[in-house]
Amino acid sequence: MGERPELVLATANPDKAREIAEILGPAVRLVGRPAGLGEVEETGETLWDNARLKAAAVAAFAGAGAVADDTGLEVDALGGAPGVLSARYAGPGATYADNVAALLAALDGVPPAARTARFRTVALVRWPDGSEAVGVGVVEGSITTEARGDQGFGYDPVFAPVGGNGRTFAEMSSEDKHRLSHRGRAFEQLAAILRRKFDERG
């Protein structure tokens, strides 16, 4: 097997960085986001666009392979919203709690059976030469009527995934969450691609 690839993290979010490191494990060596790199505007219309924008900016700045992801929560009763705007659903600078409150308010009065939703993650590695590797993960579930649990981050307290025995992601251990989650599935797929790519280089 070849030497493990080194990738620079595009995210400055410590919660996401921790999850990515836990999921990828020994598949790669992760390096923190360059301190001198400014904010990368997420102006893309899709999750793929935003993941690529972030990874390409970091790869160009660092002169090395970079890994980025973008995640959207798609709620059927809201026509697929918040989608690509999930991190900013309650407005610029919104906190996790702000976004959760806005989502619950938007779904006020919607019965449990109609609160179906899914998380979708695009995980993307970009190298300075423009080559890429991409993993995509989706998990179906539903939005609860109130926040439950104190683990995880983002919308985890109100998202109950299929296969989670009614628990929200915030009520699960990190191991249980990674086994079921969109981010877990996307980065496991990406890790498999990277292993094949670098094993072939031997």
pLDDT digits (tens, 9 = 90+) for 85-115: 999 999 988 999 999 999 999 999 999 999 9
Any idea which fold 6-201 has?
Answer: Maf protein (3.90.950)
**Predicted confidence (pLDDT) at residue 200 exceeds the cutoff of 70:** no
pLDDT band for position 167 (50/70/90)? very high
Confidence (pLDDT) at 201: 58
Confidence of residue 1 (pLDDT cuts 50, 70, 90): very low
15 is catalytic: no
DSSP single-letter state for residue 97: H
Q: Report d(CA 104, CA 185) in Å as an integer.
A: 26
Per the CB < 8 A criterion, the answer to whether 174 and 188 are in contact is: no
Q: What is the chain's length?
A: 202
Distances (CA, A) of 178 to 56, 125, 193: 26, 20, 18
Cα separation, 24 vs 30, whole angstroms = 9
Tell me what the pLDDT averaged over the chain comes to.
92
Residues above pLDDT 90, as percent of the chain:
72
Is the model's pLDDT at 55 over the cut of 80? Answer: yes
Active-site residue, selected from the candidate residues 69, 70, 156, 176: 70
3-class secondary structure, 170: helix
- Domains of the chain, by residue range, sit at 6-201
- The answer to whether 135 and 193 have CB atoms below 8 angstroms apart is yes
**Torsion 100-41-79-190 (CA) sign:** negative
Percentage with pLDDT > 70 across the chain: 96
- As a whole number of angstroms, the distance between CA 186 and CA 84 comes to 16
Lowest model confidence (mean pLDDT) among 2-6, 108-112, 136-140:
2-6
> What is the distance between the alpha carbons of residues 94 and 158, in angstroms, rounded to a whole number?
17
